[in-house]
Amino acid sequence: MLDLFSDEIPWSEPLAEGAVILRRQVRDDAETLLKVINEIALRNPFYHRITPGGHRMSVAMTHCGDFGWSSDAQGYHYTDRDVETGQKWPPMPECFRQLAADAASQAGFPHFNPDACLINRYEPGTKLTLHQDKDERDLRQPIVSVSLGLPAVFQFGGFERSDAAQRVLLEHGDVVVWGGPSRLRFHGILPLKFGVHPLAGAFRYNITFRRAR
């Protein structure tokens, strides 16, 4: 008989209408995904972007795909190359694209074809304040977010920053998908607690897939 509470069995956990956590979805593929992240970072190293207000983001970022996310004095936007180096972003690996499409389809969003992949690296103490993902052209397309490494507390709120937010623990291999009526909900990550993961060391990696254009 299957143990429905086993850590080895993926399952779906609803968050809100149009939002779901796919628990353990990519745990078996995690080692490969982390190796791919390292390969991308060799071409486009992790660095800390500066917000339009002049503050250094605590999260380190790299990108792959046709578009990457940039920040400057004019605000946040997508570009087809790294504004720091002038180089095109590394291409999105097919295993990443397939992962995103499969997770989106499982969550009720078929035919998702991301053209932007943001990879965030969290160290202990790093956080991501509540925000909306609204720089994409077609807000009918979902967001697919993959967690690897250390666990983190994910905040999933309402449509105003002041709305109460759920707090849920995301662990290694979990995938969150949100779109439709939940597409513009505020979300964030509480400060990461210290730990050491057997594959990721003292880090949490978050792979976020979007359709930017």
How confident is residue 8, by pLDDT bands cut at 50, 70 and 90?
Answer: low
Q: Determine if residue 206 is labeled as part of a ligand binding site.
A: yes
What does pTM read for this prediction?
0.93
Proportion of the chain in helix, strand, coil states, percent, rounded to 5: 15, 35, 50
pLDDT band at 3 (very low <50, low <70, confident <90, very high): very low
Is 209 annotated to bind a ligand? Reply is yes
The pLDDT confidence band at residue 207, using thresholds 50, 70 and 90, is very high
pLDDT tens digit string along 91-134? Answer: 999 999 999 999 999 999 999 999 999 999 999 999 999 999 99
When the pLDDT of each residue in the chain is averaged and rounded to a whole number, the result is 93
**Size of the chain in residues:** 213
Q: How far apart are CA 74 and CA 76, in angstroms?
A: 7
Q: What are the sequence ranges of the domains in the chain?
A: 12-210
CATH of domain 12-210: 2.60.120.590
Q: Check the annotation: does 210 bind a ligand.
A: yes
Residue 1 has pLDDT above 50, yes or no: no
Measure the CA–CA gap between 153 and 7, rounded to whole angstroms: 18
Q: Is pLDDT of 6 > 60? A: no
Say if residue 208 carries a ligand binding annotation: yes
205 annotated as a binding-site residue: yes
Quick: pLDDT tens for 49-87.
887 777 888 999 999 999 998 877 677 889 999 988 899
Residue 44 in marked binding region? no
Task: Tell me how far apart the alpha carbons of residues 67 and 213 are, in angstroms, rounded to a whole number.
Answer: 8
State yes or no: 185 annotated in a binding site.
no
| pLDDT for the residue 7 | 55
48 known member of a binding site: no
Beta bridge partner(s), residue 116: 65, 210
